[in-house]
Every structure is written in structure tokens, then in C-alpha cells.
Amino acid sequence: MAGYTLLRGLRIIEVAQLGPASLGGYLADMGAEVIKVEGLEGDPVRDRGSPALGSPHGLGLLHLRWNRGKKSIGVDLKSAAGAALFRRLVSSADVLIEGMRGGVLERLGLGFDTLRASNRKLVFCSISGLGLSGPYHRLGSHGPSFDAFGALSSINPYALTPEEQQRSQVTPVGMHAMGLHAALGVLAAVIQAQRSGAGAQIEVAAAESAAHWRPDAVDSVLNEAHTHVRPGFLGGQGRMACWPRLCRYDTRDGRGVFFQALSPKFWTRFCAAIGRKDLEERYDAPRDVNDIDEQVHVELTALFATRTLAAWMALFLEHDVPGCPANTVRELASDPHFLARENIYEVELPGTGTLRLTSTPVKVAGQQFAPDLAPGLGQHTEEVLRSVLGLDAREIADLQATGAVFGLATAR
């Protein structure tokens, strides 16, 4: 069962591993039926990453996220019978996801032109590291390389020195962004197919998803001859005027608070709430704003250290001053706002117990997000062959005997 019901009735066939499987995961979260076609090795994300759940060699957390709510069917696409079965599956689908090195299905004789012959409305989405064209497209790639390509190395842990890694808590961008960008493209193509009857072939490269994460930065370089420093920004320093009013500070209890009184009206409210009219008037003096900012930063650093985070949040709420916790990952997991907005759901993992996992930032009125656990390898083979293709027990047994399909009754 998928998470919500918004895409109920949309059938997705997925041939994807690791990060590209996130595309099918996002669509399953919204209610699509996602049938994950896997070979004997299965999706490696099942047992990648640390920590592992249940045992040192247990399931990986990203498997539980990217593959939740899907059905898994074991098919040998290199066999004639397996390929024929795959074509029948795709003929019943709205979307096919190719989530490996670009062009794998084409080399197996299962490319877009072949498959759309029996399904004119098919949306074929290739999601890979480097895309289907360009001088690098034949190269293999791994998640950290996407951010290196996209000029995001400074925030990617694998691109930092060991000393920098110790000081940083960072998340790779390209590996997580590619599924979001691809979901946008897929749903747009599905709408077109529903309106016109014509499918589409689209592709998303993870390296470009990282590169487009900061489009304004690239656009600035592309247009250097036409750019100027906007008034109110401190040229060459990368900071805007009044930056201490949009800054992180430490509180008395060792937490972090992100202060956001950049707007004059909020700054006035804040200074009035703490009885510091003199602080507000600092910016009225005809002096270098950079000197004023440095002084105000010193004052605010000392000020925020006098109260706990909870006390500051209470003050912000009472006086309508923008601010929020500057959480660590551990602090976010227990943040009252994060929990109150149902960003956590529970699911049972056989042999381990109840897991509490992050859900989705998409909230649907009147619906509770409750996807099924990520499937075991080939767990739904028989179910899909019966319900989608209408095969009987003898036909399924014959396919299994030839090795064209396989299935496991228990999760792996």
C-alpha cells in the first residue's frame, strides 16, 4: 500500500537501483502503484549504509525510504521469457522508470521506441548519474560525484578533508534531488499523455540536479559582464547589511536559535519586547553599517546566551518575531513542531519491532501517511503476475522453472 491516494490508479514499472529508486518512492508516497522489477541480486540499497536495522547486516534506512510502498517482482530481463513478460507489464503501465546507467534497457532491446509500440501513452523516464548524452555519459558514477560535478563539493562530506568532515554535518544534494526533479517531469508528462494520448521520453541526470540546486550562482557567472552588487549588500563579503538580524546564536541551554528579525518591523518588535530601544537605535546613527553590524552581533551573542531556547521561542511567539530552533539532527527528531506536524510514522519490521521513520513534507487533508514496509526481493512476484497479467498457477510455475521469474515469500 502506498502512502496517500492522490495518484491511485497510476501504474509505474520501475527498473532502478540505489538513488534513482527514489523517483518511484516519491510517486508511491503519493499513491501510485509502483512495481519494482529486480534481478537476482536485487537493489543494493537494501543492505547499504550505516546504521543497519535489526543486525549489523540488516536492512538499510534508505531502502526503507526509497522502496516503501512498492511491490517487488523478480524477473530475469536477459532471458527471452523474462523480456517478453516485461513488455507485457509495461504495456499495462503509465510510466516506466529506468534508474541505472543510461541506456541499459535499450541495450536489452527494451528501449522506448520498442515499448511504446504497444503503449502509445507510455512515459519513459531515464534517471541516471550523468544522462544519456554528453562527453561523460558513458562513465559510471556514484552519489558523491554528483555534487562534485555540480559545484557543491564544499557541502559534500566525501569532498571534504578528514578535519573538515569532523566539523560538518552535511547531506549530499544530487543523490536526493534527482528523484524530486524526475517526479516533476514524470507527472507533467503523465498529464500530457492523459490529455493528448501521446507519451514522452524524458531523462534526469543526478549530476545536473546538483548543478541546478543553485541556479542563481551559475547564472551569476554566466552573466558577469551584466551584474552589479545590489544596494544593501556588502560587496565582496557575501553578507547583506544588518546580517546579525538574520543569524544563528547559542542559547543558555546549549541549543541554537536562528534569529530572523531582518525586516525593520520585526527588529522594532524584538527590541521593544526585550526592552532594548538603544539596540534598535544603533542603526539610526550615520556610521558605517559594517561597524554597526559587528557591534550588534556582539550584543546579540551575549543577549541570546541569557535565556533558554524554549524561553526565546515563547518570546518570539508572544511578540510575533520570526525565529526558529537551529536544530541538530538529534534535536530535530524530538522537535515539538516537527512531531506535531506528523513528520514521523510507525511501521512494523518483522524480527525487529516497531520502527519510527520520517514521512513526507507533503500533507493531505483527511489522509494519514501510512505506507507499507519496503518489499522483500521478489516478494510480490506471484501477486503481480496474477493480478496484472492474469497468469494462472501453471503459467507462473513454468516461468519460475525456466528462471525467467523468481519470488520470495519473506522479506530480505
In the DSSP assignment, the letter for residue 243 is G
Q: Band the pLDDT of 29: cuts 50, 70, 90.
A: very high
Q: Can you give the pLDDT at residue 291?
A: 82
Q: Which residues contact 286 (CB under 8 A, 6 or more apart)?
A: none
Task: Please compute the mean of the pLDDT values over residues 66-84 and round it to a whole number.
Answer: 96
Cβ distance 31 to 4 under 8 Å? yes
Q: Is the dihedral of CA 155, 156, 157, 163 positive or negative?
A: negative
Using the structure block, give the residue that is written with the C-alpha cell 535499450.
106
- How is residue 143 written as a grid cell? 552519489
Distance, CA of 340 to CA of 78 (rounded, Å) = 48
**What tens digit of pLDDT does each residue of 302-336 get?**
999 999 999 999 999 999 999 999 998 899 999 99
Q: Band the pLDDT of 231: cuts 50, 70, 90.
A: confident
Domain limits, the chain: 11-214+343-406, 239-332
- How is residue 136 written as a grid cell? 561523460
CATH code for the domain defined by 239-332:
3.30.1540.10
Looking at the predicted structure, is the pLDDT value of residue 410 above 50?
no
Instruction: Record the pTM.
Output: 0.90
Same fold: 11-214+343-406 with 239-332 = no
Considering only the C-alpha atoms of the chain, give the largest distance between any 2 of them, rounded to a whole number of Å: 88
The mean pLDDT value of the chain amounts to 90
Distance, CA of 199 to CA of 81 (rounded, Å) = 26
Give whole-number Cα distances, 194 to 149, 191, 399, in Å. Answer: 36, 5, 34
Task: Please compute the mean of the pLDDT values over residues 7-35 and round it to a whole number.
Answer: 97
CATH code for the domain defined by 11-214+343-406:
3.40.50.10540
Between residues 220 and 181, which one has the greater pLDDT?
181
